[in-house]
Amino acid sequence: MQELNQEQTDHFINAGYVKIENAFPEDLAAECRNILWKAVQLDPNRPETWTKPVIRIGEIELDPFRKAVNTDVLHRAFSQLAGDNWLPRASLGTFPIRFPGTEPAGDTGWHVDASFPGDVPDNYLEWRINVRSKGRALLMLFLFSNVSEADAPTLLREGSHLDVAKLLLPEGDKGLSFMELAQKLDDLPPRKKVTATGKAGTVYLCHPFLVHAAQDHRGTVPKFMAQPPLLTKTDFNIDQSVEQCCPIEKAIQKGIGRVDIKNA
């Protein structure tokens, strides 16, 4: 069974993400893509019908999606990054499907995904993030189509998870709401921007604090992706010794300055 090597684990701690190629088979990605084309009720051979910049499809609990998120490669990686603090998924959440065009999608701001409900559970903008990453082990980007630089790849702000950990520390268990944190991101230190490109079947496993953003699609081929969370069993323990920490916890400890982890 394929495992993350030390270099990949270190990259996750320090940069905030790891790219796993062939995380699920390309033919399975194609099967999922066909289902999504039917869900959007558009013709893949008639670009003139692609009139919206993005269409979001809700949860689809069908076997191909369950298989994609439950490969041995991914399960092993989940355990390497989160220890045993993760819950298996039966589906892949919502699908933001991006189509080429000139109309702005209106959803391309830098942000960190929230992980637990606030006072108004139905309002995602009021959902919250805290320094123990309550509710979320990973942000995951599943590529169901080939994604090149021309295909609106997700932008990742490398190393920004360390800055976000520092921001969240004084907020305690209550943390910050999605919007409260988003309003602070422009003041963070400059970071290298990388693009989440890859072939269909590629998965990016990202630290839950990683700052990221969508892009408007100016290419020619629609982009099919899912970005589900990997949920936790319990809050992460960032107070234990670094030797006892999983890589997600080590990254938080590094961000808040409790340990100097260069190649932990």
Best CA proximity match to 246, nearest among 131, 89, 114, 85: 85
Q: How far apart are CA 221 and CA 22, in angstroms?
A: 21
Residue 86 lies in a domain: yes
Q: What is the domain-level CATH number for residue 24? A: 2.60.120.620
- The structural domain count of the chain equals 1
Tell me whether residue 262 is in a domain: no
Report how far apart, in Å, the C-alpha atoms of 175 and of each of 101, 113, 115, 170 are.
38, 13, 10, 8
pTM of the model: 0.95
**CB neighbour burial string for 57-94, b if at least 16 within 10 angstroms, e if fewer:** beebeeebbeebbebebbeebbebbbbebbeebebbbe
Question: Residue 115 falls within a domain, yes or no?
Answer: yes
User: Per-residue pLDDT for the chain (264 aa), expressed as one digit of tens each?
Assistant: 478 999 999 999 999 999 999 999 999 999 999 999 999 999 999 999 999 999 999 999 999 999 999 999 999 999 999 999 999 999 999 999 999 999 999 999 999 999 999 887 788 778 999 999 999 999 999 999 999 999 999 999 999 999 999 999 999 999 999 999 999 999 999 999 999 999 999 999 999 999 999 999 999 999 999 999 999 999 999 999 999 999 999 999 999 997 655 544
Residues 138, 9: Cα–Cα separation, whole Å: 14
Q: Where are the alpha helices (DSSP H) in the chain?
A: 6-15, 26-40, 63-69, 72-82, 160-168, 178-182, 247-255
- What is the predicted pLDDT for the residue at 120? 79
Which residues span the domain enclosing 94? 6-255
Asked if residue 63 belongs to a domain, the reply is: yes
Residue 263 lies in a domain: no
Q: What is the pLDDT of residue 259?
A: 64
Paired tokens of 205: 């496993």
pLDDT number for residue 264: 41
Distance of CA 187 to the CA centre of its chain: 22
131 occurs within a structural domain: yes
- Residue 250: what pLDDT? 97
Residue 140 in domain: yes
Q: Is residue 69 included in any domain, yes or no?
A: yes
pLDDT of residue 263: 42
For 240, phi then psi, to 5°, come to -80, 175
